[in-house]
Structure 1
Amino acid sequence: MNRMDELEKYRKIIRQQEEFASFTDNEFEQLAQQMQVKTFAKGQVLFDQGDPRTRFYYVLDGVVRLERVDETGSFPFINYVSPHKAFPYRGMFVGETYTYAAMAMTAITIASFPMPVFEKLLRDNKQMMVCLISQMGQIIDDDENRLQRMVTSSATHRVKQALMLIAEDLGTQDESETTQIPYPITLKEVARVSGTTRETAGQVVSKLVDEGVVVYQHKNFQFNPELLT
């Protein structure tokens, strides 16, 4: 498949997604003409917190890790963007810089569009504005929920909650209600999400494995979330 065919394939995929479906054909054409599709290796940085907010991204394949830290750099707030989801919504219309850093957690293929063009088209399309408000409302609800679930002095509880949050972002559930996370998750990653040390995260995970609550093989997690509550 040549480059033009590949771009057309991605363009058709994106056109059908919720973030773009309500644009008119003319509006989407304006956006698609300036679409860029790039690949990033695992660990590559798309942008840092505080960089100029110039692009709107849509994940085609792989996982993007978003991390925001406080002024001391001590307390990270981590989210994941899985395939067929867009970011950033935070700062839409008002922000001049990215409020978090974005890094390829796996090898990724990602489309992006100029932020000024995307914002202008949103302003001109009421249906898309409703979709945007809905998306932002969901993000606020999710973030508040994450904070509430992590406000505890129990490291064990935070590690369990971290596993559940990662599963909610990236996991898939089978008929037996077992959730599998089809991406490698290191103990260091669990530690960062839970605000614990790697040693503590490792001890908690090992105990959960010994109890038969969690399966952790080759950095892949599998568990029933109800057993972690």
Structure 2
Amino acid sequence: MKQMIIQNPWSPDLVSHTFREAFTPEQRARLLAAQREYILPKDEIIYRQDDAPRYLYYVMEGTVRIYREGRTERAQTLRFIGPGEIFGYRAALADEHYAANAATHCSTTLLAYPISLVRRLLDESPRLMRLILQQLARELGTADRRLVTLTQGMLRERMAETLLYLHSTYANPTNHHAIGLALTRRELAELSNMSTSNAIRTLKAFEQEGAISFASRTVRILDEAKLRAFAQLG
């Protein structure tokens, strides 16, 4: 990953947003001193599967794609990380190497904090530890729910659940009906555990039934109740 460091003031970042109350002023100063900002183009590799963790990352702007490469070397999109979210820390906390790859999905600005410093702060701050555990627990709950749908659901259920998940997680701030990610049909297929051809047919059917619109890589939810019925969520 090519580094472009910006010496920014106390900008919206890991400390001044989600975790502000978890740190003392002295701890915030240590984080700020170690903070690095990266401005990255689309498709820039952040870390690779089996790399040793070095940083906890925070997304300021843009989107990060987490994916794995299987035996066929075809990339399988697992999830996206959007503005205000952190990533890259689970493997470090488990003393493991990364189980997946991370790359920018579009032009993205990241803040990076050394894992060694984050570990020390976790030892010092019970509140920070609780916040990290809460995030891990939420991610595990979401993964469990999606696993059931993606392994047992029919094609329509899988795609509908994926669209609802993306819309609830990455709603467009200026258009609440739209998913705030530019997505290809192949990426939606990977997220829904189906072939691209099946994804194309399923999305077309949803459009014909008035549940969504899909143009210029933007999905708009036109009838959430229909999608929830397709996903059998009530």
Same fold per TM (> 0.5)?
yes
Distance 1:158 1:37 in 2: 37
Please tell me whether the aligned partners of residues 27 and 121 of structure 1 are also in contact (alpha carbons under 8 angstroms): yes
Q: Secondary structure at the match of 1:50?
A: coil
Find the counterpart in structure 2 of residue 150 from structure 1.
150
1:48 aligns with 2:16: no
Q: Secondary structure at the match of 2:141?
A: helix
Please tell me whether the aligned partners of residues 56 and 112 of structure 1 are also in contact (alpha carbons under 8 angstroms): yes
Distance 1:47 1:201 in 2: 29
Deviations for 1:152-186, whole angstroms, at most 9, x for unmatched residues?
252232222222222233124889xx631122111
Distance 2:119 2:64 in 1: 22
Q: Please, what is the CA RMSD of the aligned residues?
A: 2.5
1:140 aligns with 2:140: yes
Q: Which moved more, 1:194-203 or 1:105-114?
A: 194-203
1:207 aligns with 2:208: no
Going from structure 1 to structure 2, the CA distance change for 1:125 and 1:146 (only over 3 Å counts) comes to same
TM-score (norm 2): 0.85
Find the counterpart in structure 2 of residue 33 from structure 1.
33
Query: What letter matches 1:8 in structure 2?
Result: P
Please tell me whether the aligned partners of residues 59 and 111 of structure 1 are also in contact (alpha carbons under 8 angstroms): yes
Once the two structures are superposed, the pairs formed by residues 62-211 of structure 1 within 5 Å of their partners are 62-68=62-68, 76=76, 78-152=78-152, 154-172=154-172, 179-211=177-209
Distance 2:14 2:54 in 1: 19
Q: Secondary structure at the match of 1:26?
A: helix
Query: What letter matches 1:171 in structure 2?
Result: A
Distance 1:211 1:35 in 2: 49
Deviations for 1:25-45, whole angstroms, at most 9, x for unmatched residues?
111211211111011111111
Going from structure 1 to structure 2, the CA distance change for 1:71 and 1:126 (only over 3 Å counts) comes to farther
Q: Secondary structure at the match of 2:103?
A: strand
Distance apart, 1:225 and its partner CA: 3.1
1:225 aligns with 2:224: yes
Please tell me whether the aligned partners of residues 185 and 200 of structure 2 are also in contact (alpha carbons under 8 angstroms): yes
Please tell me whether the aligned partners of residues 67 and 75 of structure 2 are also in contact (alpha carbons under 8 angstroms): no
Gaps of 5+ in 2: 1-5, 229-234
Gaps of 5+ in 1: none
Find the counterpart in structure 2 of residue 8 from structure 1.
9
Distance 2:173 2:110 in 1: 25
Q: Secondary structure at the match of 2:182?
A: coil
Distance apart, 1:151 and its partner CA: 2.1
Distance 1:77 1:190 in 2: 9
Distance apart, 1:187 and its partner CA: 0.4
Distance apart, 1:228 and its partner CA: 1.0
Going from structure 1 to structure 2, the CA distance change for 1:75 and 1:186 (only over 3 Å counts) comes to closer
Find the counterpart in structure 1 of residue 231 from structure 2.
none
